[in-house]
Amino acid sequence: MAATALAAADLGDPHLASVPRTPQEAARVAAVTAPTTDFTAPERFEDLPAGAATVRARANRDAFSQPSANMGFEGELDFKVGNGLFRKLWVSSPSSTLASDGLGPLFNARSCQRCHIKDGRGHPPEGAEDAATSMFLRVSVPGGDTYGIPGYHATQAHPVYGGQLQDFGVAGMAAEYRLDIAYQDITVAMSDGETAILRKPVYTAADPGYGPFGPQAMFSPRVAPQMIGLGLLEAVAAADILAGADPEDSDGDGISGRPNIVWSRAFGEPMLGRFGLKAGAPSIIEQSAAAFAGDIGISNPLYPELWGDCSAEQSACRAAPHGDDDARDGFEIDAEGLDLVTFYSRNLAVPARRDLGDAQVLRGKQLFYETGCTACHRPKFVTQRLKDRPEQSFQLIWPYTDMLLHDMGDGLADNRPEAVADGREWRTPPLWGIGLTEQVSGHSYFLHDGRARSLLEAILWHGGEAQPARDAVVTMAKEDREALLRFLGSL
């Protein structure tokens, strides 16, 4: 059975309490999500990319840190408590601050906010002394369980270094490595005499703290993505996402989107991957729990190991003091705390569109469609009707992603598989809010490792299935390129 056959037949939404659509609703959804052919004016509701959850676009760094606009008072209280946990600085054990101890013993950051600064995207180091970065290397080796999922790559955590490399340790604990990056310049010639300089990164896991990595180790650089709109992406029906998959390119358009299918710790069954740069997590709570364990070393109900990502070979790490507490059911963050962080992450709101009726923006939108960008960056979905999540229930959203895996070519390949995803595939990232990146994050770095210093550079790195669209941008008139970039900036 092919992976997509498994997906279509057996994958559902066990994380959602949804109400089935009536035939009339299904017809309405199909009509409202159909691609537009009119670029003379904005589409109806296009100014509200998150539906009723959309918030006013703020002009400061808090633009990504607002709660869903349709949230009630009680929800706002939970959102603020979750924000407090998201921002909490964890400390090592033992400590007098029992509610905040348990850090590490090996870790990449002391808080969630430390990587997702202002709930936006992180960036790679800018020089040897740059401590304000949020980048690390995932690591794995061949072998391990496939969970009976067809097409699943048999990989497992590194026997010494675990699932990712931590560059910090608590007192007396050696870090696992130091990340070194060197860049090579690549010049790209474009129409009208324009050129762009791309920077190709070369990564080195230097100073391994626990012995050599070995020849089988596979590394993948990761920078923290922005956090807005996650709950709405989680509320899209798996069937609606799978309907866009075309792994054999049966329609001959050169686009072969595939679903990632991952094993769910929460539900004990295969689920559609939605979150993470390769869609390796099926839900926000599983993404959050994995980040607590891997990034901060905080145990929780889904990752109960008190030593975080430390392997059995790292005996000193496993023997170090931990922050488990009977008041938190023996974890360092309990189910209630994890649920609050998940609620916060689910309800970080998407800001409203800007300048969407501007003539240059409309021209850029038309070019976005005509060059084939919407084949992967799907503009619209309608979320499911949900019994217990009113903020995300039955909303027309404009995330500009299909949430599927696509071959992005050799230039962006990390050559490390993850679940069904191979070493050349990445999940299409959502584009909503992308024009506010510099305002929120203080930089304009894009792609999975932050190598692109502008949206144009990000486009020029596209290869594989996106090569024709990338080439169209290279050859189009300069004024059209500027219009396309202006459209992306309005998202």
pLDDT band at 130 (very low <50, low <70, confident <90, very high): low
With CA atoms as reference, report the closest residue to 137 among 93, 175, 92: 175
pLDDT band at 328 (very low <50, low <70, confident <90, very high): confident
DSSP letter string, 86-101: HH---BPSS-S-TTTB
Whether 6 has a pLDDT exceeding 60, the answer reads no
Tell me the residue ranges of DSSP E strands in 300-347: none
DSSP letter string, 146-184: -TT-TT---EE-BTTTBTB---EESTT---S-EEEEEEE
SS3 (DSSP) at 214:
coil
- CB-based contacts of 131, cutoff 8 Å, min separation 6: none
Mean pLDDT of the chain: 95
Which pLDDT belongs to residue 447? Answer: 98
Which pLDDT belongs to residue 111? Answer: 96
Q: Mutual orientation of helices 335-346 and 73-87 as an angle, nearest 10°?
A: 110
Which pLDDT belongs to residue 127? Answer: 65
In the chain, domain spans? 3-69+226-261+348-490
The model's pTM: 0.96
- Range 392-407 average pLDDT: 98
Which pLDDT belongs to residue 329? Answer: 83
- pLDDT tens for 106-127 read 999 999 999 999 999 998 887 6
Whether 395 has a pLDDT exceeding 60, the answer reads yes
Least confident of 58-67, 326-335, 442-451: 326-335
Rounded CA separation 160/1 (Å)? 35
With CA atoms as reference, report the closest residue to 153 among 164, 140, 166, 165: 140
- Range 367-391 average pLDDT: 98
Which pLDDT belongs to residue 98? Answer: 79
Which pLDDT belongs to residue 4? Answer: 46
Q: Cβ–Cβ contacts within 10 Å for residue 162, how many?
A: 26
Tell which wins on pLDDT, 329 or 288: 288
Whether 2 has a pLDDT exceeding 50, the answer reads no
Residue 399, token pair as written in the block: 């995330």
- Range 58-63 average pLDDT: 97
- pLDDT tens for 418-428 read 999 999 999 99
Whether 8 has a pLDDT exceeding 80, the answer reads no
| Cα first-last separation, the chain | 39
